[in-house]
Amino acid sequence: MTGKVCIVTGGTSGIGKAASLALAQMGATTVVVGRNRDKGIAALREIKEKSGNDSVFLMPCDLSSQSLVRQLAKDLLDRFDRIDVLLNNAGIFTMKRTVTPDGIESTFAVNHLAPFLLTRLLLDRLNASAPARIVNTSSVAHKGAKINFDDIQGEKHYSGIRAYGQSKLANILFTYELARRLQGTGVTANCYHPGVIRTELGQDNPWIYRLILAIIRPFFKAPEEGADAAVYLASSSEVQGQTGKYFVGRRPVNSSKISYDETVAKRLWELSEDLVHLQ
């Protein structure tokens, strides 16, 4: 991975931090994107120390804001003349409905629209750097979910679990549609389920939910185990040229039936373009 530039969102903790460290240890120039600057500085220091790689950079960004996502993309394009890997890993899970500065339901905004927008803004640079790879963190939580186009932002009825499942299904639909549109470019797009991992996901929820998490968290897998598939998809020659697939661990498996519906994928793509104001 020496000489390659890898961008990891949600890179200051959990799976993203573990993936950033692994990529840095492989010699990649690694860009860590995270919401909290102080946490990012600490993560940056740790990654540099453990990897022995000084080519690790922090770019703070609150992905809930489309203007900040656009600024992040501009900063990345200004700073790096190539992008070899984009790992869209950042995500949230919230039991209470909240909206972003753009007036969009937060789970849908952060988990789907942010990676959709960031990927689209960086796509020309990824194409110019081909062969390049886009890796999206999804979840087995997509199974049983659907894209509720009549109430996609949960304005009529909100369920944190339903919103999260919908956003993870959106990740897969986006990945598959992106892969179709990128055929022949040398840029691949894949997604994966990391497993049930000890991360900070859900820590902003009510105390009773945090208590339940604290009780069951010791039974979850370590972040390094969750990051393994992401790093594999980002770096392994075994998946060179493979695209439009959903992985569990290092193995491609079938995602839910609806995730292969191209009509749904195209409708979601067009809706996402409208919501992020892209042509």
- Predicted confidence band at 194 (pLDDT cuts at 50, 70, 90)? confident
What's the pLDDT score for residue 220?
A: 45
In angstroms, how far is CA 198 from the centroid of its own chain?
17
Q: Which residues pair with 133 in a beta bridge?
A: 85, 188
Residue 158: φ, ψ to 5° = -110, 135
Does 183 have pLDDT greater than 60? yes
Angle at which helices 223-235 and 14-25 pack, to 10 degrees? 50
What's the average model confidence in pLDDT over 86-99? 93
What's the pLDDT score for residue 279?
A: 75
Q: What percent of the chain is predicted at pLDDT more than 90?
A: 84
What's the pLDDT score for residue 198?
A: 43
What's the average model confidence in pLDDT over 113-121? 98
**Distance from C-alpha of 65 to C-alpha of 276, rounded to nearest angstrom:** 10
Per-residue H/E/C for 5-72: EEEEECCCCHHHHHHHHHHHHCCCEEEEEECCHHHHHHHHHHHHHHHCCCCEEEEECCCCCHHHHHHH
What's the pLDDT score for residue 219?
A: 42
- pLDDT tens, 195-227? 654 445 445 555 445 444 454 445 445 557 778
Does 167 have pLDDT greater than 50? yes
Q: Which residues pair with 192 in a beta bridge?
A: 137, 247
Q: What percent of the chain is predicted at pLDDT more than 70?
A: 90
Catalytic one of 158, 164, 232, 260: 164
What's the average model confidence in pLDDT over 144-163? 95
Does 269 have pLDDT greater than 70? yes
What's the average model confidence in pLDDT over 102-124? 98
- pLDDT tens, 13-53? 989 999 999 999 999 999 999 999 999 999 999 999 999 99
- Predicted confidence band at 277 (pLDDT cuts at 50, 70, 90)? very high
What's the pLDDT score for residue 203?
A: 53
246 catalytic per annotation: no
Cα separation values, 50 from 6, 20, 40, 53, 274, Å: 17, 11, 15, 8, 42
Q: What is the pTM of this model?
A: 0.90
- pLDDT tens, 235-255? 999 999 999 999 999 999 999
List of domains in the chain: 5-276 (3.40.50.720)
What's the pLDDT score for residue 95?
A: 87
Does 159 have pLDDT greater than 80? yes
Q: 13, 39 in Cβ contact below 8 A?
A: yes
Please, what is the average pLDDT of the chain?
91
Which of these, 16, 45, 50, 54, lies nearest to 32 by C-alpha position? 16
